Structure 1
């Protein structure tokens, strides 16, 4: 998204190399570092104006064991390095799940004093608290983007759903679950604004303007893909499938495409108050609702 701009970009990698065209871009510099090793982060963030953090680990069994390390400790290491280097702004990509179940009638408003029941949500909320607390009184401005569910071509979960739908294997629980949606282009524009726009600070809920349920989104997505709509199944069968995936992953040392905690956070209805986003980040969205955004999935 920013390759066509005049911005100089330093992209941090660990083991996986960047795509060749991205690595070869004139305004891209590659920094190799390891979030688990603080000493490797010093050069990675040195001389940088803004750091954007969107790293994590998914699809492995027993997330309660690794998420405190990958979500909290790794971000703690990055925050310490950014503060020591005097980075001007640290942008954390997060989600509204930290406030627990929310809805269009009672949206998330930027609170950080909740205790969500998903491990993913608890550790993401802990990251937010860490950033706000450690940056207080420093030269580093904290920015937290609580994104709705980003949809569009190439998004991992969306492509997984498409793969399953083509094979008539996509299923969802019957209970309607509110989801706040966000198109890929509007996610990119919001993040660009968070990086470049003066005066940005604190927590922003980023999403479109018309709430939908997860079930409605998947139905509409399948229509766009010309595939059968997802099966409606009892929620216990989804948890059972996740348990089987975790058992298999632990037995063979493989990734787990589903975990029980991933289902728990997926079942959490969420919708954020976007008034601050519209006032300070994006006054207009390219896709203010799924009505126009769904075409990006075709």
Structure 2
């Protein structure tokens, strides 16, 4: 029986992921500071375990990691916030998780990084194929984005020093449908999100990798090559929502509009450290 720990297990992304990751031979262990909502009964007897507590509590982490085969790390602060919050929740919490996983002998971790780790990268940095590589150096747009760069580098430290397999997902917009024009390029569908995580969990010995978390969007300008190298082959395309989004917001200009040509979009303009 495979057991996978999902941190931030009560969150919106975790809820999308839980639905698609249910298997008869798998247990999903959910760690969060609040209880996750139960999933609808799918008739297959979804197997879930719940651990309530904080990523910054080593005793909670030791319990959560007992008997675990792999970790999907979604927990922490998911928006821009003050520096103490992002330091505690994202940087320190991720370090605590990696260290606890090492101590428990759990060697496969998938870390939810963010497009905001590379927010000030733009289309001018695209490669010969016209697409932005996933493993560009961090160029954060916010304190939140800075914390994700730190998460990635901590993951690389544990991969290099201890031989752990750590895959960081620079996630675009992981929603049931694209929330705006940026989503025509950056959307990650719920089903493709499951495909991405499953690929990261099953590929043999990836070492340390950084991958864009997007679907096979017609208007994408981020590369899928790094994900495809791990066995991630997305099938969904935000273009099915294009007519609706353009009618609502106008025709997008992915060549000139800074909201659409910078990885972090409007996050490059918000005040640092202001929660919103």
Per the normalisation by structure 2, the TM-score is 0.67
2:57 to 30, 34, 37: 37
Q: Please list every run of 5 or more consecutive structure 1 residues that lacks an aligned counterpart in the other structure.
A: 162-171, 214-270
RMSD: 3.3
Q: Which runs of 4+ in 1 moved over 4 A?
A: 176-179
Within 5 Å, give how 1:1-298 maps onto structure 2: 1-19=20-38, 21=40, 25-58=45-78, 62-99=81-118, 100-103=120-123, 106=126, 107-112=132-137, 114-152=138-176, 158=179, 179-201=185-207, 202-210=209-217, 212=219, 271-283=221-233, 285-287=234-236, 289-292=237-240
Does the aligned pair in 2 maintain the 1:193–1:282 contact within 8 Å?
yes
Relative to the length of structure 1, the TM-score reads: 0.62
Give the drift of 1:58.
4.3
SS at match of 2:56: coil
What is the number of residues matched between the two proteins? Answer: 217
Larger Rg: 1
Which is bigger in relative contact order (C-alpha 8 A, separation at least 6)? 1
* Helix, strand or coil at the partner of 1:36: coil
Q: 1:181 to 1:119 in 2, by over 3 A?
A: same
Q: 1:73 Cα shift?
A: 0.9
Q: Confirm or deny: 8 A CA contact 2:113 2:169 kept in the other structure.
A: yes
Say whether the 8 Å CA contact 2:217–2:239 is kept in structure 1.
no
Higher helix share: 1
Deviation at 1:26, TM superposition (A): 4.7
Q: 1:103 to 1:78 in 2, by over 3 A?
A: same
- Contact 1:95–1:124 (CA<8 Å) still a contact in 2? yes
